[in-house]
Structure 1
Amino acid sequence: MRTMALSVFLVWAVTACASTGDAREEVLVFNPELREALAHYSATMAAPRVPMAMASGATVSSCDEYLAQGSRAGTASVPANNTASLDYVICDSVAALHDALPAPLDAANARGETLADRLDLRSFRSSRYQRTTDEAYTLRTVTDQPLDIDTYSAALDSPGWYFKLEVVAVTDIDGSGQADWLVWMVDQSRGGSYLSVVPLVVHDPSIVGLLNATPLAR
């Protein structure tokens, strides 16, 4: 069940394509599916996807069409898009990495612990946002249940909810000259149909103190 959310939207037809030679080697990518998609950038952009309605009235069915329509900001607010949008998280992510600037090497080796203890959940919207207070605002402090933490991720896997933050890549996304983390947030109700996967940018994670994240802007 834990991997279901990611597998839903990481099914795209690029694995059989030959490399186009347009990978960005200065981008540090940890997630294997995202690494493969970036290595085959042109094929990823053109691969057919679940049709999705846009606010303009157009229907898109590829990353190229989706990004041309304004990406996430241009999607229509219709129920069918709740599922279809999962197939386009990879589009936002690959496009951001392809356009990113070179950044100093990120030598961090405990990113999961950092996500659990230093990322301010008040800085972006999620199911955990309503649980934050002035005293409790990190993933570890807003829950009394143990977290699943590894090198790249921190997850709350409870009977009622699944919430995961995963560092999938490192590069300078916001143009600050410092490395940023591209994070995939999986937010899923165990008892209902709600499922959201959102790419976030954790800005300048090398700083001391709390970290902030914002939705990936395209």
Structure 2
Amino acid sequence: MKIPFLIFLLSLSITGCTMVKKNKEVPLILNAKLYHSYTNLNKTLALKRTPLLFSGGREVDNCRTYDKLTLEKNIDESLYNQQIKSEYLVCDALEILSKSTLEYHKIDDNPKFGKELLSRLDLRSFPSSLNRKSRGKFHTLKMLYPNQASSSNNIVELQTKKWNFSLDIVAVTYVNNNSDPDLIVWVSDESKTGNYKGYSTIVVYDVNKPGLLKASIFPSYLH
């Protein structure tokens, strides 16, 4: 009877070690599309996408070539090309996660950071259509649009007659070598009356610290 019991204890020990290791190695991904891409990484990186044009005439059609070229050249600014960029946001997020610390310190299993971005994200710290609207002390969504901007869990939205702006917090990780969590956020910036459409990935730093939150657009944070 003792031997089976010892085997049972040993199996629990092995299972426990595996779970701890998994928790340290798998980042906290809040977006279902990104989670599927992360857990099918090789397939995602090689997946053929709509060709995206960079300055100088070079094109990419998968995450692997996209990740390399974003460090060298800027994306062509034509409207059609900017729309295609939305297909590559997942590539941005996977590249950031690959260079992040995956050992988590103080993150809830179901964090809700939308409210923090609504009231504390400094719109002057990253490029968007709202960047130039920020003035004086009015430089967060809550300050600029107190009645039109809202948050729900990990999504922030601004809906006006002329504009659609959203922040989708897709993952929580550590990118700047401290114990304060950073957020990977997909930005959707669309005119309802014109042709402008912009999509980007930003990193919001140290979300647990008080005060305004700063962000950097991908891939500039890598430099």
- How does the TM-score come out when normalised to structure 2? 0.80
Q: Unaligned stretches of 5+ in structure 1?
A: 1-23
Give me the whole-angstrom Cα distance separating, in 2, the residues matched to 1:127 and 1:116.
16
Q: State the distance in 2 between where 1:194 and 1:127 align.
A: 9
**Is the 8 Å Cα contact of residues 169 and 186 (structure 2) preserved in structure 1?**
yes
Q: Report SS of the residue matched to 2:144.
A: coil
The CA deviation at 1:78 is: 4.1
Alignment partner for residue 119 of structure 1, among 96, 118, 121?
121
Q: What corresponds to 2:41 in structure 1?
A: 41
CA-based RMSD of the aligned residues comes to: 2.3
Give the Cα separation in 2 of the matches to 1:71 and 1:51: 18
Match of 1:158 in 2: 160
Distance in 2 of aligned mates of 1:191 and 1:100: 39
AA aligned opposite 1:66: Y
Write the distance in 2 (CA, Å) between the matches of 1:73 and 1:178. 31
Kept in 2: contact 1:170–1:179 (CA 8 A) = yes
Structure 2's unaligned 5+ residue stretches are 1-23
Deviation by residue 1:165-195 (Cα, 9 ceiling, x = unmatched): 1211000123334321011111110112211
CA–CA distance in 1 between the matches of 2:137 and 2:63?
41
- 1:62 aligns with 62
**After superposition, what is the alpha-carbon deviation per residue over 1:37-94, rounded to whole angstroms, capped at 9, x for unaligned?**
1111111100000012223432211111111223584433444422222211111111
- Distance in 1 of aligned mates of 2:166 and 2:96: 21
Aligned to 1:85: 85
Q: How far apart, in 2, do the equivalents of 1:146 and 1:74 lie?
A: 33
Rounded to whole Å, the distance in 2 between the matches of 1:55 and 1:215 is 18
Report the CA distance between 1:26 and its aligned residue: 3.0
Segment of structure 1 superposing worse, 52-61 or 166-175: 52-61
1:180 aligned partner: 182
Deviation at 1:205, TM superposition (A): 0.6
C-alpha spacing 1:190/1:124, structure 2 compared with 1 (3 Å): same
1:65-214 matches, within 5 Å, as 65-70=65-70, 73-102=73-102, 103-107=104-108, 109-214=111-216
| Paired letter, 2:180 | Q
Question: Who wins on radius of gyration, i.e. which is larger?
Answer: 2
> Residues 205 and 211 of structure 1 are in contact (CA less than 8 Å); yes or no, is this contact kept in structure 2?
yes
Cα distance in 2 for partners of 1:139, 1:152 equals 15
Structure-1-length-normalised TM-score: 0.81
CA distance in 2, matches of 1:154, 1:77: 25
Number of equivalent positions: 197
AA partner of residue 143 (structure 1): Y
- Rounded to whole Å, the distance in 2 between the matches of 1:73 and 1:173 is 22
CA contact (8 A) 2:171 2:185 kept: yes
Give secondary structure in 2 for the equivalent of 1:130: helix
Amino acid of the residue matched to residue 190 of structure 1?
K
Query: Would you say the 8 A contact 1:38–1:98 is kept in 2?
Result: no
> Secondary structure in 2 aligned to 1:34?
helix
Q: Distance in 2 between matches of 1:82 and 1:178?
A: 32
